[in-house]
Amino acid sequence: MPSLFNKEEVERIRSEVERWEREVVPQWLKKIPERMEEFTTLSGIPVKRVYTPADLGDYDYWEKLGLPGLYPFTRGIHATMYRARIWTMRMFSGYGGPEETNERLKFLIRHGETGLSLAFDYPTLIGVDPDDPLAEGEVGIVGVSVPTLLDMEIIFDGINMGEVTTNMTINPPAPVLLSFYVATAEKQGVPYNRIGGTTQNDPLKEFIAQKSYVFPPEPAVKVAMDLIEWSVRNLPKWNPISISGYHIREAGATAVQELAFTIADGIEYVRQLIARGLDVDEFAPRLSFFWDSHINFFEEIAKFRAARRMWAKIMKEWFGAKKRRSMWMRFHTQTAGVSLTAQEPFNNIVRTAIEALAAVLGGTQSLHTNSFDEPFRVPSAFAAKIALRTQQIIAYETGVADTVDPCAGSYFVEWLTDEIEERAWRYIDRIERMGGMLEAVKKGFPQREITEASYTFQREVDESKRFIVGVNIFRSEDIDEVRNVPLLEFDQEEIERRQKERVKKVRSMRNKQRWERALDNLRKAAERGENIMPYVLEAAKAYATLGEIMGALKEVYGVYVEPPIY
């Protein structure tokens, strides 16, 4: 199909816009005593006063957009999108010990949550047990403590693991937590082909942004690929990786950097798996992504649409994928935690609703909405329920899910989608010239770019070039709102004591010979360079603790210490 507008028509429109800018706009500007002459997205992309077909130029509809469910999937990976099935409402949950998290999961299920998501405390994220000196004072604080198989069994007590899907936000210890999950499902009698969910399992973004790394880059990637390879061949409904832009964005990246660095991570993982001898169409359908939905509404919608188009092109043209599903970018979205403010915290409900709407208009498959009290601590049940209701109101009251990709055809949205894509390709080209994302990470390239972007944003806020309501504009000295936030209360010291006792109990009840043999086999398999997943699973079933399993792997792979960037 030719462009939407012929060249003569585009030139006529461009000429009219120039006349409008010259003759009409100046008269209106005189009526505005105080104004900002320049507007930009959070990525610094200049935004014009008005957009017309002239901004799209020679725009080929089928090449750029096509139809939902068809290549290049700009308009969505499913032909019917939310008319057939509303996105999965997957609220990030977990705090304290397994008992508290079990209660919260059941609470959310009762109120209409359609997918589970586990947040882990920091000791679990870095693979240490509650009685490790590094864990003191941190057990159960930012997520649930899961050092043993017994803890996972308690979390899912009374929850049929064959009827739910669970996302686990875990990275270096991902093989261990997946093994705990699989072993628990087995005990419930759930066959492997019914175990569904996702392990985040994205090591590169740990070095770039989140910083909860354990192993050095090469073995970290190797362990992640082990999990993917094993899952593809054993858990047909499991997404073994969630290639994560969220943490990159939360660390201060722009939307363009989030898009480029995350896709570059994905390219690296695809190459690693192909190098193992896997066919791209064997594993690509199980890859998934995880994006941030920030506060600049149209920029986020355009980012999601550009992401689908870029990934489809990469999988088809770079890696020769044949299956349509291999070209899909399936993704989960979370609203921007970094956009929430401690000042006037109830404003966060509005921010989250806008960010959630952008994710839906951008075509997400799964969504987590942040709670308004998260600047203070783990969400209360009250705040979590409001966050869930925000999604439900968007889904069932607004009508935005009635048609597929309702933003398509907007001159501004299509121009911005193209602009974000073009800028992301420039970043990817630079990373490719460095030898790929693994090499770029070791050189500190994305880390430096994010640091500079974060500094620029904060400077603009400090200088009131970027407005945050209640922070640097329309500020209020009244702190009653903060005082009235109903915060979650729990006894962290008691939970830490309980978790230490449980670890002690597990160590005393297990079969010592089976435990020793399992850890020894794991250590030897790692030394031989084998896929460690079968050995981690056996160690989990032998009730080896998280710290013990990770300790055996540290002996082989070592521990990473980040070099200073500045």
Q: Would you state the pLDDT for residue 355?
A: 98
Task: Name the band, by pLDDT with cuts 50, 70 and 90, for residue 316.
Answer: very high
Q: Would you state the pLDDT for residue 9?
A: 86
The letter for the amino acid at 447 is: Q
Supply φ then ψ for residue 367, to 5 degrees. Answer: -145, 135
As a whole number, mean pLDDT of residues 110-124 equals 96
d(CA 491, CA 140): 10
Task: Give the CATH number for residue 253.
Answer: 3.20.20.240
User: How many CA atoms does the CB half-sphere of 479 hold within 13 Å?
Assistant: 2
User: Residue 285 domain-assigned?
Assistant: yes
294 shares its domain with 422:
yes
Task: Name the band, by pLDDT with cuts 50, 70 and 90, for residue 302.
Answer: very high
**Domain-terminating residue out of 406, 428, 462:** 462
Q: Would you state the pLDDT for residue 10?
A: 87
Residue-wise pLDDT tens digits, 236-249: 999 999 999 999 99
437 shares its domain with 292:
yes
Q: Would you state the pLDDT for residue 38?
A: 79
For residue 282, give its domain range.
Answer: 78-462
24 shares its domain with 149:
no
User: Residue 114 domain-assigned?
Assistant: yes
d(CA 144, CA 93): 8
Q: Would you state the pLDDT for residue 1?
A: 44
116 shares its domain with 46:
no
Q: Would you state the pLDDT for residue 441?
A: 96
Q: Which residue has the tokens 């972007």?
A: 453
pLDDT value at 566 more than 80 = no
As a whole number, mean pLDDT of residues 362-367 equals 98
d(CA 451, CA 435): 22
37 shares its domain with 118:
no
| Cβ–Cβ < 8 Å for 337, 355 | no
Q: Would you state the pLDDT for residue 364?
A: 98
User: Residue 468 domain-assigned?
Assistant: no
As a whole number, mean pLDDT of residues 316-330 equals 98
In percent, the amount of the chain with pLDDT more than 90 equals 89
The whole-angstrom distance between residue 528's C-alpha and the CA centroid of its chain comes to 33
240 shares its domain with 142:
yes
Against a cut of 0.75, is the pTM above it? yes
**Domain-terminating residue out of 462, 495, 527:** 462
Residue-wise pLDDT tens digits, 411-445: 999 999 999 999 999 999 999 999 999 999 999 99
Residues in the chain: 566
Crossing angle between the packed helical segments 533-541 and 512-528, to the nearest 10 degrees: 170
Q: Would you state the pLDDT for residue 3?
A: 62
User: Residue 133 domain-assigned?
Assistant: yes
Task: Name the band, by pLDDT with cuts 50, 70 and 90, for residue 283.
Answer: very high
d(CA 414, CA 65): 9
**Domain-terminating residue out of 18, 35, 62:** 62
500-510 CB burial, b ≥16 within 10 A, e <16: bebbeebbeeb
273 shares its domain with 146:
yes
User: Residue 559 domain-assigned?
Assistant: no
pLDDT value at 564 more than 90 = no
Averaged pLDDT of the chain: 95
Residue-wise pLDDT tens digits, 501-560: 999 999 999 999 999 999 999 999 999 999 999 999 999 999 999 999 999 999 999 999
pLDDT value at 296 more than 90 = yes
Q: Would you state the pLDDT for residue 244?
A: 98
Task: Name the band, by pLDDT with cuts 50, 70 and 90, for residue 482.
Answer: confident
User: Residue 21 domain-assigned?
Assistant: yes
pLDDT value at 176 more than 50 = yes
User: Residue 535 domain-assigned?
Assistant: no
Q: Is 253 exposed, middle or buried (0-12, 13-18, 19+ CB in 10 A)?
A: buried
Q: Would you state the pLDDT for residue 563?
A: 85
pLDDT value at 37 more than 70 = no
The three-class DSSP label of residue 66 is: coil
Q: Would you state the pLDDT for residue 34?
A: 58
311 shares its domain with 338:
yes
Q: Would you state the pLDDT for residue 36?
A: 57
Domains: count for the chain: 2
In percent, the amount of the chain with pLDDT more than 70 equals 98
200 shares its domain with 111:
yes
pLDDT value at 394 more than 50 = yes
pLDDT value at 225 more than 70 = yes
